[in-house]
Structure 1
Amino acid sequence: MADPFPKDPAGSTVALVLAGGRGSRLDPLTAARSKPAVPFAGQYRLIDVVLSNLAHSGLKDVWIAEQYRPFTLNQHLAGGRPWDLDGTRHGLRILPPAEGREEEGFSAGNGHALAQQVPILRSFGAERVVVLSADHLYQLDLRPVLAAHADSGAELTMVTTVTDEDPSRFGVVQADEDGAVTAYDYKPEAPEGRLVATEVFVFDVAALHEVVAELVAREKAAGEHADGEEDEDGDPVASSLGDYGETIIPAFVGRGRVREHRLEGYWRDIGTLDAFYRAHMELLDGAGLDLAAPGWPLLTNPPAAPPARVWPHAEVSNALLSPGCVVKGTVEDSVLGPGVVVERGAHVRRSVLFGECIVPRGARLDAVIADVGAHIPAEAVGRSRPGPGNLTVLTPATRDPDSEDETTGGAAAKDG
């Protein structure tokens, strides 16, 4: 059978963005869209961060593995054009779930999703694959990472950082003075140190193929009955490789050829509502992601909307206003997405409004996250001291859960 992916010398490095997760910790913001498609900083989407890093790093083969509710995400991606990734031979490629071979179909975790792409990576001729998630904020030039990976002879290079958050939420890394990784503990109850993996990994594809094959063979052997039949699920890949932090990464560390590459500067995991809100407040404080970093701006598929308008009687302080916004009332320490209207007599404080909603006269929002199209009541909503788990989230209550439409009306409020 002819190889469906002829080898191309220019495709020796592929970037694989794992963008198929449900994102349940960001619910209800992920009820009708995938996590990478969640709006961020007004006119952007979460996936813009990783795609901008890849585009600025000069990586031209970018593959996006999708699964959960991809419609809105694909609309935004526009074939890769906003990041100059709309090439004919190289560029952005969408990897939807598929049926036909046992390694295909819907994945049972990011480890399984990674394993599903190994045959295609090998057929494509990729020697290295950069595996990334789409729910982290950072700015990173991957060229030095790839150069260090090649020079060290490592099978896996993981980008690490020293976190100011609870390290037990992440993969905790131990490394010697030369950067060799000696231990990796995934979400340990008692973490040793604050050095964590940022979920940016550079794998040698040949080694990845070996490790996945070994793990699958081991699980298959353990699942076979005495008569040689397989376990009930019949899919050793899905049953053994759920999360790569629990299976694939530890297996690489056990082989003894893993290096770390330290990321200095801002890094934030925004996989929870509290972290998502905090990242926006850091943006406003000047301590978060630099959206207009010289030579490294955040790129996006911008909305087709006129410039934001602030009326003479409006009061605006320390705010990000997206195209299409109209402000007649008071906005402070807030982020307004495309098409948000703040009427005269309305007050928005320390809030994040995604877009296409009206804040009417009499509304007072404090520490609120409002989804696209949310109905804002003409009353006080939110709490003046929002501590962890105490945010107010407004969503369009009448949205059809099976619909991909982000602009339907209705309202619902819940504490995150």
Structure 2
Amino acid sequence: MRIPRVLAIVLAGGEGSRLGALTDHRTKPAVRVAGSYRLIDVALSNLANSHVRDVWIVEQFLPHALNEHLSNGRPWDLDRTHAGLRILAPFTGGTGEGFPEGNSDSLWHFRQQIASFDPELVLVLSADHLFTMKLTDVVDTHQQAGADLTMVTTRHDGDASRYGVVKVGTKGRVEEFWYKPEEPPTDLVVTETFCFSGPALLEALEDLGGDEGDLSDYGEDLIPYFIDKHTVVEHRLEGYWQDIGTLSAYWRSHMELLDGTGVELDDPDWPILTAPPQLVPARVADGAVVADSMLASGAVVRGTVRHSVLAPRVIVEEGAVLEDCVVLDGVRIGRDVHLSGCIVDEGAQLTGPLEAGTNGCVTLIDGAGDVVRTEQID
């Protein structure tokens, strides 16, 4: 089969307001995951492992930490003379100027650049989901079905009302679509990974937005347009998938990772690539207790850490106890600090005596060391 001209667009401009303090000072795709990674690493690694070499990243909200991490695409072999990584930022002074107001609007603002690339297929990914997938399989499904849009779907055993929900007929044809329905009629949700036929996408953006734009999110305009006018099919994701949209989902994805039921990050045939900090390996002192946990480089543990994930340069002092926690970069957990079911943001310096954590809830402690949010675990 002839290899089509594929453009990948990763949408990484969202504020992530439901993550509270974790996104007060950084965009959601730059949030730390599994101690050693950033959330955007997952999307970029799926593309790199799928040998997709033209990758554009749409940015908007607080992109500075994200750009520093991206390192011009080097960790994913995207710092190339031909093809490679390209950053798309809001601009003024030409067609598409201004700030997008949603996912569809982001594509509309850069429609001229997409048209100039002249892609046969456009892969569109969100940068805030945990999953691994060979994206060339999605392309194969799209071509074999003669589709104009292929949506990656998955069965979801939780609250499907937060997502787009579909009904699928014979040969994977999407027959109906509901966007964040109060009472979802099926448990088959859209993962916000799409494969569009390039000409059909550009035509849709022109028809929906015209010269003014003002589009919104996929589910409110672009997807209904395609289902009404074009051939839309599904590509089913059978493995793990998690939308990191809430504190509960962020915490739960780490607990599942520790339990061995979460996303697979250590497959040598499908590595998750990143720009690692240049630090010494983690250190566990004499008398410390560490069980069922993940420690990133530069971490030092003198106390007790159970079923928790520590990011780089975290220090847990003697007498401190962590259980079911996610602790981000540079945090110091002092003596007689006992945390359970907590997420601790970067740079917090916690001193005891202090106990935090509520059964059945996840507690967020910000970089100033204050408990700022408690959320029921869904």
TM band (smaller chain): over 0.9
| Superimposed CA distance per residue, residues 181-200 of structure 1 (whole angstroms, 9 cap, x where no aligned partner) | 11111101121110011100
Q: Distance in 2 between matches of 1:273 and 1:325?
A: 23
Q: Is the 8 A contact 2:4 2:121 kept in 1?
A: no
Percent of paired sites with the same residue = 49
SS for the counterpart of 2:172 is coil
TM-score normalised over the length of structure 1: 0.87
The partner residue of 2:363 within 379, 388, 392 is 392
Partner residue in 2 for 1:268: 242
**1:302 has 2:260 as partner:** no
SS for the counterpart of 1:63 is strand
**1:236 has 2:236 as partner:** no
Q: Distance in 2 between matches of 1:177 and 1:183?
A: 13
Q: How much does 1:298 deviate?
A: 1.3
Partner residue in 2 for 1:19: 12
Partner residue in 2 for 1:220: none
Which stretches of structure 1, 4 residues or longer, exceed 3 Å deviation after superposition?
none
Change (3 A) 1:256 1:11: closer
Q: Is the 8 A contact 1:118 1:208 kept in 2?
A: no
Q: Distance in 1 between matches of 2:75 and 2:54?
A: 15
Which blocks of at least 5 consecutive residues in structure 1 are unaligned? Answer: 1-8, 218-234, 398-410
Partner residue in 1 for 2:77: 84
Q: Is the 8 A contact 2:20 2:373 kept in 1?
A: no
SS for the counterpart of 1:184 is strand
Q: How much does 1:415 deviate?
A: 2.2
Q: Distance in 1 between matches of 2:233 and 2:355?
A: 49
Q: How much does 1:56 deviate?
A: 0.3
Q: Distance in 2 between matches of 1:189 and 1:358?
A: 42
Partner residue in 1 for 2:296: 322
Change (3 A) 1:11 1:372: farther
Q: How much does 1:127 deviate?
A: 1.5
Q: Is the 8 A contact 1:368 1:381 kept in 2?
A: no
SS for the counterpart of 2:107 is helix
SS for the counterpart of 2:200 is helix
Q: Is the 8 A contact 2:334 2:349 kept in 1?
A: no
Partner residue in 1 for 2:42: 49
Q: Distance in 1 between matches of 2:108 and 2:242?
A: 26
SS for the counterpart of 1:391 is strand
Q: How much does 1:369 deviate?
A: 0.6
1:144-293 counterparts in 2 under 5 A? 144-217=137-210, 236-238=212-214, 241-293=215-267
Q: How much does 1:303 deviate?
A: 1.0
Q: How much does 1:311 deviate?
A: 1.1
Q: Is the 8 A contact 1:375 1:395 kept in 2?
A: no
Q: Distance in 2 between matches of 1:326 and 1:116?
A: 46
Partner residue in 2 for 1:415: 373
Q: Is the 8 A contact 1:336 1:353 kept in 2?
A: yes
Q: Distance in 2 between matches of 1:81 and 1:341?
A: 30
The partner residue of 1:373 within 339, 344, 347 is 347
Q: How much does 1:102 deviate?
A: 4.5
| Superimposed CA distance per residue, residues 331-350 of structure 1 (whole angstroms, 9 cap, x where no aligned partner) | 00100000001111111111
AA at the equivalent of 2:241: W
**1:135 has 2:110 as partner:** no
Partner residue in 2 for 1:93: 86
AA at the equivalent of 1:313: G
Say which is worse superposed, 310-319 or 116-125, in terms of deviation. Answer: 116-125
Larger radius of gyration: 1
